[in-house]
Amino acid sequence: MKTITKISFISLMMIGTCFSQDMRRNASSSLFSDYKACNIGDAITIFVVESSAASNQAETQAGRSSDLSLGASGQASNTPLPKIVGALGTKNDFTGKGSTSSSGTITAKISATIDSVLANGDVRIKGSRKIIINGEEQLIHISGIVRTSDIASDNTVLSYNISDAVISFEGNGLISRSQNPGWLTKFIHWIF
């Protein structure tokens, strides 16, 4: 019985040694919190919530006027001299007005992966999504730098927390092509 116990104990020690965990690999894990994306290749979900509005108005008024007049009259020994009268006037008025306004809203949810980890611990992300509905293709690209403290416990981040963010929406299909002028119209605009 003692021999079987010794053999079992030695067998368990050998199995435990073969399948032991590397504590350095699990050092960043916590028993009390969820795993947050922080390594190259980790996936992260981005909530794109962007809205922008801008307006600008300008009004300019300028005016200038000047008048110059000259008059002369005289008489020499009962003979009247011709009367000389002159007047000169200039006027310059300018009024200019202009205004511009633009607004836009983008809402999307896209997954990206960590492309690289910077020296300070921030991560560079990159992701894209291609959606095709009834032949209409929509491409969404996103890239930028995210602080790991801005990543939520469910590995999500809001788009306004991404620095150096590049977010592009591109469309291709029948609707996109119908919004562009035809080649004849482009040629006429190129000539004139």
> For residue 113, what pLDDT is reported?
92
Residue 91 lies in a domain: yes
User: How far is CA 131 from each of CA 66, 137, 139, 179, rounded to the nearest angstrom?
Assistant: 67, 6, 7, 19
Which residue range forms the structural domain that includes residue 81?
56-100
Q: Which of 141, 171, 172 is nearest to 159 (CA)?
A: 141
Q: Which of 58, 82, 87, 55 is nearest to 71 (CA)?
A: 87
Residue 22 lies in a domain: no
Which pair of tokens denotes residue 185?
Answer: 């119209």
pTM: 0.53
154 and 183 housed in the same domain: yes
168 and 139 housed in the same domain: yes
164 and 91 housed in the same domain: no
40 and 113 housed in the same domain: yes
C-alpha span between 35 and 151 (Å, rounded): 11
> For residue 27, what pLDDT is reported?
47
> For residue 98, what pLDDT is reported?
78
Are 38 and 114 a contacting pair, CB within 8 Å? yes
Q: Which of 149, 147, 48 is nearest to 107 (CA)?
A: 48
148 and 79 housed in the same domain: no
113 and 161 housed in the same domain: yes
108 and 161 housed in the same domain: yes
Residues 6+ apart with CB under 8 A from 47: 108, 109, 156, 157, 158, 159
The CA dihedral of 147, 152, 154, 157, to the nearest 10 degrees, is: -60
152 and 121 housed in the same domain: yes
Per-residue pLDDT of the chain (192 residues; tens, 9 = 90+): 677 787 877 777 777 665 655 554 554 555 565 677 788 888 899 998 887 788 888 787 777 777 666 666 666 666 666 666 666 667 777 777 878 787 878 788 899 999 999 998 899 999 998 888 887 888 889 999 999 888 888 889 998 899 998 988 887 766 666 666 777 777 777 776
